[in-house]
Structure 1
Amino acid sequence: MDFKPSPKSQEYLDRLKAFMDAHVYPFERDYVEYHKKHNPGGDWKRWTENPKLKDLQLKAKAEGLWNLFLPDEEMGQGLSVLDYAPLAEEMGRVYNSAEIFNCNAPDTGNMEVLYHFGNDEQKEQWLKPLLEGEIKSVFCMTEPDVASSDATNIQTSIQPDGDEIVINGKKWWSTGLGHPDAKIAIVMGKTDESAAKHRQHTMVLVPLDTPGVEIKRMLTTFGAYDPPAGHGEVHFNNVRVPKVNLIQDFGEGFAIAQGRLGPGRIHHCMRCIGAAERALQLAIIRSGTREAFGKLLAQLGGNSERFAKARIDIDQARLLTHYAAWKIDEVGVRDSMTEISAIKVVAPNVLQEVTDMAMQIHGGGGLSDDFPLTSFFIQARALRLADGPDEVHQRMISRLEFKKYLGG
């Protein structure tokens, strides 16, 4: 295996770095200040998107830096998962910059679901405008009344009724729910509790303007709403959609979820590596330009050793991320579960540790929005729960190791 970027990947990376330098880094502070001013509270009905974001998206699309995550030559840029890894890492250096390139969650995962599992009508109605960046989407899986880390606990009901499907249930931490352009949700629920454990779940497309869809509230993460997308609680009260909105078939939801979450998880990890690199860079610059007690901060309190450990941890995490990406390309998601789960544990933890160290180096500034460190810390801590908590992935790895050596 060779993790050196392919010529195609390197060419895209060079162009992406140039775009980041010219447009994204100068936009970073504007993004933060705009939402402080225009979207300060939890009233998502009044949230607005920074108009400069659309301008940057048009520039990115014009330069071919669009839908980089999708390996399809026509709908995406024809990049493999491993090809995409250094690009996602570069995007990760600026919080939420992936949206500029239409490479942000949850839209990427939802687009992959529609690309791999959607029918022609669903692709035309929903995938096409998502790929164009005309609308946004939501993925509704986690529930407030059960431990959703175990998907078999999900209580939302998805039942056939003639030519319609009826959905009843509650979801929360539904990312993107507050975005003014959010139009469609992929909802996961149970159809047949008497079926085999992994054949009980179903996924269905639910337009957010369907009668009975009720957004209850937006949720804060460490006190922040993260507008204009945010994470919300939504209830489905006897919601009816046509049966053509069913993705694949009843009982296929769990298999679809595994296919969706595999690439999505590793995309998060790629961005974590970029964020960790940025945090380390900021910490070193700060420590090499500030003095305390007559010495540079870099010379105090074992800081040089902390930088060395961060360098080692980031490089190890990157190698594991690239290995997982390479294996997905080689054998597919189903046979790469150990590697996907491993990096899903490692990358957010590395980002959390490196960012915490960088925040300490920055003193009070590290706790403010003057630097991107608080956003990186929230990102890391949230990702240790999102797409499966650390413990679930560790359990998965352990089960696969036992199966490897003891069978069963």
Structure 2
Amino acid sequence: MDFAPSAAADDYTKRMRAFLDEKVLPAEAGYEAFRAERRGTPREWDLPPVVEELKSEARARGLWNLFLPAISGLSNLEYAAVAEVSGWSPVIAPEAINCQAPDTGNMETLHLFGTPEQKQEWLEPLLAGEIRSAFAMTEPDVASSDATNVQTSIRRDGDDYVINGKKWWISGTADPRCRIFIVMGKTDPDAPKHRQQSMVLVPRDTPGMEIVRHLPTFGYQDQHGHSEIAFHDVRVPATNLLGEEGGGFAIAQARLGPGRIHHCMRLIGMAERSIDLMVRRAQNRVAFGRPLAEQGVVREQIAQSRIEVEQARLLVLKTAWLIDKYGAKGAATEIAAIKVIVPRIACAVIDRALQVHGGAGMSDDTPLAYFYVWARALRLADGPDEVHLRTVARQELGRHT
């Protein structure tokens, strides 16, 4: 395995770093001020204008849709370093380059399984950054860590499908730019376990789809929101079926593999920025007559963080290399492994940075509190740790059987 960056990867990473330093990081304060003014009001979900300005700048710099190899020409391994840089500002940078979740996974899904008509109507405006999307799989009444548990009904009725059920933690729903939902439900409860589910495309303004509430994450409400949704006899044309009937579980697995590694790439960037903030704080803060950087306990925290981030990055790069070489199925064990270890390491590193910052770390004066919330949430999003540990254990036991 050779993880040395290619000339293309090196070029894109340098351009992404320049974009981050010159445009994105200076925009963070204005972004947060805009949101603070509207928090708790009906305009809470308004998009800060600076995001559209950054999107235009990113396109002008050639930093657009880099996540999709068929569009960008970058391999997963080459994209890893770019995604890591975007993780330094996870609220703004990924969207600025049109590489934000859940849209990247939805765009990949439409690219792989959409009909020409579906691609024209939904994929093209997503790739252009004109709209956003949501992926509705998780449900409140069942353990959604097992995707075969979904109870939402998708019933064929003539030339339509009729949808009834509940979903929650559906990311992006509060944003009025979210125009299309990929909804997973059961079309045939009597089919074999992994052939009962299908996915359909549901436009936002379809009658019968109700946004019940927006769910805060550890008290945080981001600009895009995470929501509970109810479907009451929601009727869509049968042509809105994604892929084939009964193919929903397979589509979900194809979608979640790349999405999981993208999250991990960005988490490395969040951990790197946390180390950067921790070191700066340690060098400039004095306690007991000398800088924190000269205190043995703080040095240990810095060293431990550096070691863990390097370990996590190498496993992410190996996983990206395997996906490029063998596809997501050939990297299933490694995808599961990074989905466990990278959020855990990110949480640990961010926690140390919080500790070094003292009370300031818990405030909004630094991004650390939000980083911790998001890193902790990613131990549940796209499958909880326990599911991925089960996958790794099954593979390991299989090798010894």
Q: Does structure 1 retain, via aligned residues, the 8 Å contact 2:35–2:44?
A: no
The correspondence of residues 230-269 of structure 1 with structure 2, limited to 5 A, is 230-269=225-264
Q: Does structure 1 retain, via aligned residues, the 8 Å contact 2:148–2:249?
A: no
Name structure 1 gaps, 5 residues minimum: none
The correspondence of residues 91-170 of structure 1 with structure 2, limited to 5 A, is 91-96=86-91, 97-170=93-166
Which structure 1 residue ranges, 4+ long, deviate > 4 Å from structure 2? Answer: none
Q: Does structure 1 retain, via aligned residues, the 8 Å contact 2:136–2:181?
A: yes
> Which amino acid in 1 is paired with 2:36?
K
Hey, what's the Cα distance between the residues in 2 that align with 1:233 and 1:372?
A: 27
User: Displacement of 1:244 after TM fit?
Assistant: 0.7
Q: Secondary structure at the match of 1:356?
A: helix
Hey, what's the Cα distance between the residues in 1 that align with 2:188 and 2:395?
A: 27
Q: Does structure 2 retain, via aligned residues, the 8 Å contact 1:272–1:380?
A: yes
Hey, what's the Cα distance between the residues in 1 that align with 2:46 and 2:133?
A: 16
Hey, what's the Cα distance between the residues in 2 that align with 1:20 and 1:139?
A: 28
The residue that corresponds to 2:220 in the other structure is: 224
Q: Secondary structure at the match of 1:370?
A: coil
The correspondence of residues 317-356 of structure 1 with structure 2, limited to 5 A, is 317-356=312-351
1:125-155 deviations in whole A, cap 9, x for unaligned? 0000000001000000111111111112211
Q: Does structure 2 retain, via aligned residues, the 8 Å contact 1:215–1:234?
A: yes
Do residues 13 (structure 1) and 13 (structure 2) align?
yes
Query: TM-score by structure 1 length?
Result: 0.96
Hey, what's the Cα distance between the residues in 2 that align with 1:306 and 1:59?
A: 37
Q: Does structure 2 retain, via aligned residues, the 8 Å contact 1:352–1:377?
A: yes
The residue that corresponds to 2:35 in the other structure is: 35
Name structure 2 gaps, 5 residues minimum: none
The residue that corresponds to 1:190 in the other structure is: 186
Match of 1:369 among 364, 369, 373: 364
Q: Does structure 2 retain, via aligned residues, the 8 Å contact 1:88–1:271?
A: yes
Hey, what's the Cα distance between the residues in 2 that align with 1:50 and 1:222?
A: 22
The residue that corresponds to 1:88 in the other structure is: 83
Q: Does structure 1 retain, via aligned residues, the 8 Å contact 2:185–2:197?
A: yes
Q: Does structure 2 retain, via aligned residues, the 8 Å contact 1:42–1:217?
A: no
1:291-334 deviations in whole A, cap 9, x for unaligned? 11112112335111111111110000000000000000000011
> Which amino acid in 2 is paired with 1:94?
S
Q: Secondary structure at the match of 1:55?
A: helix
Hey, what's the Cα distance between the residues in 1 that align with 2:334 and 2:12?
A: 26
Hey, what's the Cα distance between the residues in 1 that align with 2:31 and 2:18?
A: 19
The residue that corresponds to 1:379 in the other structure is: 374
User: Displacement of 1:375 after TM fit?
Assistant: 1.3
User: Displacement of 1:95 after TM fit?
Assistant: 2.4
Q: Secondary structure at the match of 2:72?
A: coil
CA pair 262-54 structure 1, distance change in 2 beyond 3 A: same
Hey, what's the Cα distance between the residues in 2 that align with 1:396 and 1:176?
A: 28
Match of 1:200 among 196, 210, 214: 196
Q: How many residues align?
A: 400
Hey, what's the Cα distance between the residues in 2 that align with 1:20 and 1:377?
A: 21
1:377-403 deviations in whole A, cap 9, x for unaligned? 011100000000000000011112222
> Which amino acid in 1 is paired with 2:98?
N
Q: Secondary structure at the match of 1:235?
A: strand
Q: Does structure 2 retain, via aligned residues, the 8 Å contact 1:60–1:101?
A: yes
Q: Does structure 2 retain, via aligned residues, the 8 Å contact 1:41–1:225?
A: no
Do residues 312 (structure 1) and 312 (structure 2) align?
no
Hey, what's the Cα distance between the residues in 1 that align with 2:196 and 2:335?
A: 24
The residue that corresponds to 1:298 in the other structure is: 293
Q: Secondary structure at the match of 2:169?
A: strand
Hey, what's the Cα distance between the residues in 2 that align with 1:278 and 1:144?
A: 34
1:211-270 deviations in whole A, cap 9, x for unaligned? 00000110001111112x010011111100001100011110110011100000000000
Q: Does structure 2 retain, via aligned residues, the 8 Å contact 1:166–1:238?
A: yes
CA RMSD of aligned residues (A): 1.1
Hey, what's the Cα distance between the residues in 2 that align with 1:46 and 1:379?
A: 19
Q: Secondary structure at the match of 2:325?
A: helix
Hey, what's the Cα distance between the residues in 2 that align with 1:113 and 1:206?
A: 15
Hey, what's the Cα distance between the residues in 2 that align with 1:184 and 1:114?
A: 11
> Which amino acid in 2 is paired with 1:108?
T
> Which amino acid in 2 is paired with 1:334?
K
Identity of aligned residues (%): 55
Hey, what's the Cα distance between the residues in 1 that align with 2:235 and 2:53?
A: 37
Hey, what's the Cα distance between the residues in 1 that align with 2:78 and 2:296?
A: 40
